[in-house]
């Protein structure tokens, strides 16, 4: 992905919200510049797990990691269990940006990753500038942003 005329690599880890990954997700978060927390609008239970995931992220990810809350499966509007308003309210209470879309149709997927990558890139630049001001040694800029998509349900299709 190009950000400020630089190529930025995204390394994406998808734990699908599965309990079997719970013990290793902490190690994914430790070096994450950004985390995409996804819940399924057709499954209230995934929505109810968001606060737990965000708590785990805050405990394990670097303090300046960027987190975005994404409501997935808008292509299944007729099966919706979690309203847009409810998602927005949760995001606001957690102080997170919020987006809705569909991995199946592609709606807002690129936008979500772009938003997360740009915010993480600018956060990293800000951190590098701070450390170069406080240190006389040279700094190597790392351009790999790591993202974790911790919540995804199984079923047909990719998401």
Write out pLDDT tens, residues 7-52: 888 878 776 666 665 666 667 778 788 899 999 999 999 999 999 9
pLDDT given for residue 108 in this prediction = 97
* Residues making up the chain, counted from first to last: 159
CATH level 3 topology of 2-149: Rossmann fold (3.40.50)
3-state SS class at 64: coil
pTM of the full structure: 0.77
pLDDT given for residue 96 in this prediction = 96
Q: What share of the chain is helix, strand, coil (3-state, %, to 5)?
A: 45, 20, 35
Query: Rounded CA gap, 35 and 155, in Å?
Result: 23
Answer yes or no: is pLDDT of 118 > 50. yes
């Amino acid at each position: 992905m190009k950000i400020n005329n630089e190529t930025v690599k995204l390394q994406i880890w998808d734990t699908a919200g599965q309990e079997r990954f719970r013990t290793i997700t902490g190690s994914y978060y430790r070096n994450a510049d950004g985390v995409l927390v996804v819940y399924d609008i057709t499954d209230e239970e995934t929505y109810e797990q968001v606060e737990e995931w965000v708590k785990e992220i805050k405990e394990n990810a670097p303090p300046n990691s960027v987190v975005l809350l994404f409501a997935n499966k808008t292509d299944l509007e007729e099966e919706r269990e979690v309203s847009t308003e409810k998602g927005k309210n949760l995001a606001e209470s957690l102080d997170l940006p919020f987006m809705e879309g569909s991995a199946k149709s592609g709606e807002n997927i690129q936008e979500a990753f772009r938003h997360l990558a740009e915010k993480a890139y600018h956060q990293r630049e800000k951190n590098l500038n701070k450390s170069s001001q406080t240190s006389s040694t040279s700094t190597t800029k790392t351009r790999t942003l790591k993202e974790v998509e911790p919540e995804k349900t199984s079923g047909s299709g990719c998401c």
